[in-house]
């Protein structure tokens, strides 16, 4: 891990090259976000967003990093995952949300 690794804007941990990561569209592509702002997240953080919120909720209310961090379930998850190493990954505990 070096000081030039990107930082996950959700959990605040660095994202080293060996960590699973992906880009998250702040407004879902299917809801008009194609070409819109994206952020690089740990894959586990990205999975938790989509396990918690619907595409419509993401488009309407949770379309900023600040809004995502303020969601009660995501806030609890972020507090938990912040104590894990930057390369930590596991399946999302909460299961998929109802579509």
List Cβ<8 Å contacts ≥24 apart for 23-26: 24/49, 26/58, 26/63, 26/64, 26/65
pTM: 0.89
Angle value at C-alpha 89, between 87 and 96, nearest 5 degrees:
150
Q: What is the average pLDDT value for the chain, to the nearest integer?
A: 91
- pLDDT tens for 52-80 read 999 999 999 999 999 999 999 999 999 99
pLDDT for 90 = 85
Domain residue extents for the chain: 21-81
Residue 11 backbone zone (phi > 0: left; psi -120 to 50: alpha; other: beta): alpha
């Amino acid at each position: 891990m070096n000081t030039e690794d990107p930082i996950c804007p959700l959990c605040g941990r660095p994202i080293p090259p060996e960590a699973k990561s992906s880009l998250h569209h702040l407004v879902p592509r299917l809801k008009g976000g194609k070409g819109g702002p994206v952020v690089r997240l740990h894959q586990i953080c990205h999975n938790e967003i989509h396990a918690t919120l619907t595409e419509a909720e993401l488009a309407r209310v949770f379309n900023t990093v600040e809004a995502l961090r303020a969601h009660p379930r995501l806030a609890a998850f972020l507090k938990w995952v912040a104590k894990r190493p930057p390369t930590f990954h596991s399946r999302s505990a909460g299961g998929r949300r109802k579509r």
